[in-house]
Chain A
Amino acid sequence: MTDFEMDPIIEQIAHEARRPVTMDRDARDRLLMAVRAEPVPARPRRGWGSLVEPRTVVVTPSYLTALAAGLVGIGVLVGMGTKLGRDSRMTGQPQVVAAPQLPASDTVVTFVFVAPAAARVSVVGDFNQWNAGATPMTRVGNSAFWSVTVPMSVGRHTYSFFAVGSDGEKWSADPFAPAAPDDGFGRENSVVLVGRGSAL
């Protein structure tokens, strides 16, 4: 037997509480009408509206940490995805030919080109994947000479000069180097033979 059952006052209160409450029917109807008269709360906006509606954002250090971690995670996943995509284009399998690594440099070669009217000149060849923007040359003082020194691996390399001037873009072979046969694209390239510590 508990202490509550032993107390007669508490026993009386409990008895009153258990007694069914009789409610006036009109009062119940008034209550329901009042509830129905209340405006319906607006449903949260979806789609674009929810993204652009103004809101107050409370930024806490833990929120920032979580956001940074999430961004890094997404970046890693996207990076993995694009790498796999790039590699798998070769044969459709993950293990395929990767982009060739740039050869280790065995020596340096200085290219010189004469183009008095050019605004920009670059040397373009198999050593920079024929990228016209990869190896820009610099004008030597105020002269007509352009030059650049490029680290290169031993072997035979083909190249050409790419000049941009007021008359447009122009590909030119090196007049002082052996000519490579027709490139197949209607232009002539040149050859540089790189030996250990020397180049022709």
Chain B
Amino acid sequence: MKWRLFGSATLLVGTLVQAAAAQDSQAEPLSSLEQRFRVQIESLIDSARQAGLPWAAVRSKALEGVNKKVDGARIVAVVRQYYANLMKSREALGNVGPGEIETGASVLTAGVRPEDLALFRPTTAGRSPTRALVYLADLISAKHGVPRDDAVAAFAKLWKDGAGDSDFDGLWRGIDQDILSGVNPKAALQNRVRSLPVRSMRPPTDVENLHS
């Protein structure tokens, strides 16, 4: 009788453990990676956490690869590059939040040089370069094809002169519209930058930021 009970209990526990493992695999998609790749990814995530970098973004990049069914070696290479870009982004942008660091990393991925990214380092509290950098990355992408150096120079000058989010919103929409209409991307950038009103081109002070 004791053996019967023991056998039944063993079977029950085995079934439960198997069910829990299956649930674990669903809850933790990284577990579908081969062990050697998963260890490297987890090591990078842990390093990012130790370094104070946005580790959730590192994990998200790995998950993106897993769910896009990319092979493990490729995922590790991409995540490692992304981790390096996060480091460079923080160095370039200084004391900014995780969102800005992630955006800076994506701009570096787009081909902007770290020294150019540093031109967008906030000099006043509460001012975020996220929107400007997102539009910059979009315009120099293959989708729009604006020459990188021209776009960086124009955006950096606007940023330095104090352009706000609404300025960059309008600029991006205008350039996008012009390019769709057949205007040359470089000309579209130059035309739209020239047409921006000069009135707002002054960096806001910390006091203004506090009240905005």
Q: Are A and B interaction partners? A: yes
Interface set of A (CB-CB < 8 Å, partner B): 44, 46-48, 50-51, 71, 74-75, 78-79, 81-82, 85-86, 89-91, 96-97, 99-100, 124, 126, 129-132, 155-156, 158, 171, 178-185, 187-188, 191, 193, 200
| B residues near A131, Cβ cutoff 8 Å | 29, 63, 67
Task: List 21 A-B residue pairs with CB atoms under 8 Å apart, sorted by A's residue number.
Answer: A48-B7, A51-B4, A71-B12, A74-B16, A78-B13, A78-B16, A86-B27, A90-B42, A91-B46, A97-B55, A126-B57, A130-B66, A156-B103, A178-B137, A179-B143, A181-B109, A181-B111, A184-B61, A184-B109, A185-B74, A188-B141
The number of inter-chain residue pairs (CB within 8 angstroms) is 125
* Cβ contact of A200, chosen from B29, B64, B141, B169, cutoff 8 A: B169
Q: Which of B87-95, B127-135, B149-157, B196-204 contacts A (4 or more CB under 8 A)?
A: B127-135
| A residues near B169, Cβ cutoff 8 Å | 200
Quick one: CB contact mask for B82-121 with A, threshold 8 Å, 1 for yes?
1000000000000000010011001101110000000000
Give Cα A129 to B62, complex, Å. Answer: 10
| B residues near A188, Cβ cutoff 8 Å | 141, 143
The verdict on A90 contacting B45 (CB below 8 Å), with A178-B135, A185-B78 known, is yes
The verdict on A178 contacting B138 (CB below 8 Å), with A184-B81, A187-B68 known, is yes
Give Cα A59 to B60, complex, Å. Answer: 51
Give Cα A75 to B12, complex, Å. Answer: 10
Contact A74 B45 (CB under 8 A): no
Quick one: CB contact mask for B1-33 with A, threshold 8 Å, 1 for yes?
101100110011100110011011001110000
Contact A129 B134 (CB under 8 A): no
| B residues near A44, Cβ cutoff 8 Å | 1, 3
Give Cα A139 to B199, complex, Å. Answer: 46
| A residues near B21, Cβ cutoff 8 Å | 82
* Cβ contact of B64, chosen from A81, A85, A179, A185, cutoff 8 A: A185
* Cβ contact of A86, chosen from B3, B28, B77, cutoff 8 A: B28
Give Cα A182 to B110, complex, Å. Answer: 7
Closest Cβ of chain A to B169, distance in Å, is 7
| A residues near B42, Cβ cutoff 8 Å | 89-90
Query: B130 — nearest CB in chain A belongs to which residue?
Result: A156
* Cβ contact of B106, chosen from A79, A155, A181, A200, cutoff 8 A: A181
| B residues near A132, Cβ cutoff 8 Å | 67
- Scoring B17, B57, B66, B134 by chain A CB atoms within 10 A of each residue's CB, the highest score goes to B134
The verdict on A182 contacting B134 (CB below 8 Å), with A78-B16, A82-B21, A97-B46 known, is no
| A residues near B60, Cβ cutoff 8 Å | 126, 129-130
